[in-house]
Structure 1
Amino acid sequence: MATTQSQPDLTAAPQPTTTPAPPAASGRRTGRWIDDWRPEDTDFWEGGGRQVARRNLVWSIFAEHLGFSVWLIWSVSSAFLLAQGFTFTPQQLFFLVALPNLVGSLLRLPYTFAVPAFGGRNWTIASAALLLVPTIGFAVAVGDPSTPYWVFCLIAATAGFGGGNFASSMANINFFYPTAKKGAALGLNAAGGNLGVSLIQFFLPVVVGGAGIFGLVKASGGGIHLERAGWLYAGLAVVATLAAYLFMDNLGTAKSSPREQLKVVTQRHTWVMSVLYIGTFGSFIGYSAAMPLLIKLNFWVPEPAPLGTGIYFAYYAFLGALVGSLTRPFGGWLADRWGGARVTLAAFTGMIVFTLGVLATLLQLTPNPTADPAIAADNQSLFPVFLGFFLLVFASTGIGNGSTYKMIPAIWRAGAVATTEAGTPERSRALLTSTRQASSALGVIGAVGAIGGFLIPLAFSSPWVESPLQATQGAFVVFTGYYVVCAIVVWAVYLRRGRSAVGRVEV
């Protein structure tokens, strides 16, 4: 018989104990389950619920962090492929870093539905184990210079498994926390995952034998060995799988039918928030994936070896993702304090201003042919300005990511409050339904938003534009226009007077 883990009274016993599953519940259940979960009940929360939620949050962050690292492993490794003997064009490399983002965005919806279907703990075990596919595949492919490009594309696509982890992790943690603490909890969960982008870009150059950490680590005399990164992260995937098995829980209250979950796609706010999330998270993940190649193509040439002339991309590629990750929980905290819509509008305003700053710097660059060290040296003087504005863009995306994810559960809760009487059973049922629908919406919105991570590297490659620099400049013009549209949408739907009933409730 299957076993279940129940916790009828967290005030008396904060740590769950394993008991035999009742016959009615044993049909679909395996592993640790908690059936009595009432985070909005203050006594329940303070009497043990907080500790259980925090434990699940910690291990959720670890698994999601690993997923993001695997998702973006191609972002920095692609810049080393030429050094390892592969002959790919800039367009091929940009497509290689974009492909995992496309697959990851498409997987976010089914990954969200997997939480109520299988349990948050159970799905974390499965999704962490799936990371063995892209990591082992990466290690094998990069170790053989005869590996064809289409094989690289196939393996890069499987790295999208790591992108799907974000949606299931966020949906799961959303069920664990009370409304007043969702912004900070979801912000921490997302930031821990987002940091995986920065750390893979920070440590991979060192792990594979390249120079890194601002030059404190010198390049290995034995050359580049990208396969080391694949084997390292395969080992970490095993650790994440075991940690989820040992330390996480499933919530019996986190359940809904696929039909109920898919109702969110018929609601206007799902698509409004998707548009906004393309601007915030899509920008964060797209810029993170493209930044190493942007620096390499515009500010660095490989001569003279080993570090070439100009700005060595591995020294700075991780900074954007680091800044965007660290500011994400700050955005959630600001949204808890001032309202998600206000903070999101401020974030888009910052993105507009700072993207124009990046564009102004790019317009002063000289196209950087890889055979001319003199041009790289000329462009080098503009790099501090480029980097400064770009990091401010990343900071704005991080704040916007945190504030939009605060808005999503608040919008669905506001709808429940607006249509029911306080203190009634209908209000309680509506709030529970709103939590389930908000978790589904997080998956849909996260899936649509992540598509931006695919489109941004493609815009930078733009094979129809002759000059890579002109393609990059044109891309930033388009991005600025999109951020203006997003700012107008936030104001029109959630902040202006005379908006809808849900809009009038603070989000």
Structure 2
Amino acid sequence: MTTTTEPTGEGLTVSPPATVSVAPAGGRWIEDWRPEDPVFWEHTGERVARRNLWFSIFSEHIGFSVWSIWSVIVLFLGPKYGFTPAQKFLLTSTPTLVGSVLRIPYTFAVAKFGGRNWTVVSAALLIVPLLVGIAVLKPGVSFGTLVLVAAIAGVGGGNFASSMANINAFFPERKKGWALGLNAGGGNIGVAAVQLVGLAVLAAAGKSHPRYVLAIYVPLVVIAAVGAWLAMDNLAQAKNEQRAMRDVVRDAHTWVISLLYIGTFGSFIGFGFAFGQVLQVQFKADFDTPIKAAYLTFLGPLLGSLIRPVGGVLADRLGGSRVTLVNFFAMGVSAAVVLAASKQHSLPVFLIGFIALFVFSGVGNGSTYKMIPAIFRAKANAEMAAGSPRAAADTLFRRRSGALIGIAGAIGAFGGVLVNLAFRQSFLDTKTGDRAYIAFIAFYAVCFVVTWAVYVRPSSRKLAGV
């Protein structure tokens, strides 16, 4: 497609629309993309970017649902399957681990293959764990087989990283917060959505039909892949910044932010995967059937997903480090409430504490992610003050921010594995989750101290504006 310019009534020219070319492999590529140009953005860019955003959100949403689908499937695995609670926690932690590892290569895949092309591929891959699960999921299946199938479901965890990297390239700096927040929130809600699907299956068909949950998502995966193929675009100028990845790996702030993101996103995804199982094991008399647990399991992930943008807004107004600091204190208090309720076997207080954990983990997701660009913006400002050209400092800011988003997302997801392993070991040792809750309180205390010491404590070495 050729570029054109159109004269306006005042004799001025409007920036040309994006140049879209058809690659030999059939992919649709945009050769000219200038989102920071206000005229280009108004006349062409915003419409194209929003179209890609909506289809990206849907694909990522289905990815999150498939990633967390085993948190629902384990509710169906009754006595006929013969699995222990410890084995079920392993089934929920396995896809979390695989998904966290895949987030790094998925981040690079967008620039390597094109955002549209990779969205099609990553969406289509989701059908594999669904079909394999449908084929093998029945009483008598071996535990090792189910671990393998659960591991394959980890491909859904990688979709977040590639989706965020792709959408980040489409939007101008002034719109990235809104677009990335919407993209992340729409994906996170997939955790709650799949639990609602599980509840509907339990209510309509009973606990003997876990394969129905998998089957429901098969056509949705097809819609996501076909929709991406028909409506999304590749950006030709998207490039992998390998030097940026090397730079951020050597930066101490990368590992501090990753630690904090383990505490926020790791808690969110870990609790989302484990909550229903925890209720069934810790309060057997109250949740003697899967459907009773399913009535509650979706609520925490839903609230945690919906409130994530609030954490970003608060961080914009008050500072990401301050919001994150207070948030970790609140998470520690919430975990202490859960521990006290567990010892007293008080289900209402237990639920209040756990729902609060979900809510504050959602707030922390938003505030911690907002700290990433603030850190490198502060470093860029310091370099400009030392004489570095603004263009060079801004380029460095964007490259390092994007690289850290990928690393923090991967390490934060690994926190979900630690949450499930903590529950597994605690129930193995004591038949309760008390040791896990104590570990969570201790970890949130560490995150609180680290946040204060590195970003909040008055110091001449502190980065301004984080």
Superposition TM-score, scaled by structure 1 size: 0.84
Any gaps of 5 or more consecutive residues in structure 1?
212-218, 366-381
Task: Name the counterpart of 1:67.
Answer: 63
Q: Distance in 2 between matches of 1:274 and 1:394?
A: 19
Task: Give the C-alpha shift of residue 78 in structure 1.
Answer: 0.4
1:106 aligns with 2:106: no
- CA gap of 1:12–1:238, structure 2 versus 1, over 3 A, is farther
Pick from 153, 156, 160: which aligns with 2:150? 156
1:138 aligns with 2:99: no
Task: Name the counterpart of 2:216.
Answer: 232
Q: Is the 1:112–1:171 contact (alpha carbons within 8 Å) kept by the matching residues of 2?
A: yes
What is the 5 A alignment of 1:6-405? 12=14, 16=18, 18-19=20-21, 31-82=27-78, 85-142=80-137, 144-207=138-201, 210-211=202-203, 219-220=204-205, 224-301=208-285, 308=288, 312-365=292-345, 382-405=346-369
- Could you say what secondary structure the match of 1:316 adopts? helix
Greater shift, 157-166 or 307-316, is seen at 307-316
Task: Give the C-alpha shift of residue 244 in structure 1.
Answer: 1.2
- CA gap of 1:476–1:429, structure 2 versus 1, over 3 A, is same
- CA gap of 1:407–1:98, structure 2 versus 1, over 3 A, is same
Q: Distance in 1 between matches of 2:218 and 2:454?
A: 44
Q: Distance in 2 between matches of 1:248 and 1:452?
A: 32
- CA gap of 1:413–1:117, structure 2 versus 1, over 3 A, is farther
Q: Is the 1:278–1:450 contact (alpha carbons within 8 Å) kept by the matching residues of 2?
A: yes
Pick from 350, 373, 378: which aligns with 1:409? 373
AA in 2 matched with 1:131: L
Pick from 422, 430, 435: which aligns with 1:467? 430
Greater shift, 33-42 or 389-398, is seen at 33-42
Task: Name the counterpart of 1:493.
Answer: 454
* Cα shift readout 1:322-348 (whole Å, capped 9, x = no counterpart): 111011112122223332222222221
Q: Distance in 1 between matches of 2:133 and 2:14?
A: 48
Task: Give the C-alpha shift of residue 179 in structure 1.
Answer: 3.1
Task: Give the C-alpha shift of residue 6 in structure 1.
Answer: 8.4
Greater shift, 410-419 or 281-290, is seen at 410-419
Task: Name the counterpart of 2:398.
Answer: 435
- CA gap of 1:291–1:79, structure 2 versus 1, over 3 A, is same
* Cα shift readout 1:64-96 (whole Å, capped 9, x = no counterpart): 11010000000021011116x311001100100
Q: Distance in 1 between matches of 2:357 and 2:373?
A: 26
- Could you say what secondary structure the match of 1:19 adopts? strand
Task: Give the C-alpha shift of residue 8 in structure 1.
Answer: 8.6
Superposition TM-score, scaled by structure 2 size: 0.91
AA in 1 matched with 2:64: F
Q: Distance in 2 between matches of 1:9 and 1:485?
A: 58
Q: Distance in 2 between matches of 1:485 and 1:190?
A: 26
Task: Give the C-alpha shift of residue 167 in structure 1.
Answer: 1.1
Q: Distance in 2 between matches of 1:463 and 1:265?
A: 33
Q: Percent identity?
A: 50
Task: Give the C-alpha shift of residue 12 in structure 1.
Answer: 4.6
Q: Distance in 2 between matches of 1:34 and 1:411?
A: 31
Aligned length: 460
CA RMSD of aligned residues (A): 2.7
- Could you say what secondary structure the match of 2:384 adopts? coil
Task: Name the counterpart of 1:216.
Answer: none
Q: Distance in 1 between matches of 2:290 and 2:225?
A: 42
Instruction: Decide which structure has greater helix share.
Output: 2
Task: Give the C-alpha shift of residue 15 in structure 1.
Answer: 6.5
Task: Give the C-alpha shift of residue 358 in structure 1.
Answer: 1.1
Q: Distance in 2 between matches of 1:456 and 1:107?
A: 19
Q: Is the 1:182–1:406 contact (alpha carbons within 8 Å) kept by the matching residues of 2?
A: no
Q: Distance in 2 between matches of 1:499 and 1:49?
A: 42
Task: Give the C-alpha shift of residue 51 in structure 1.
Answer: 2.6
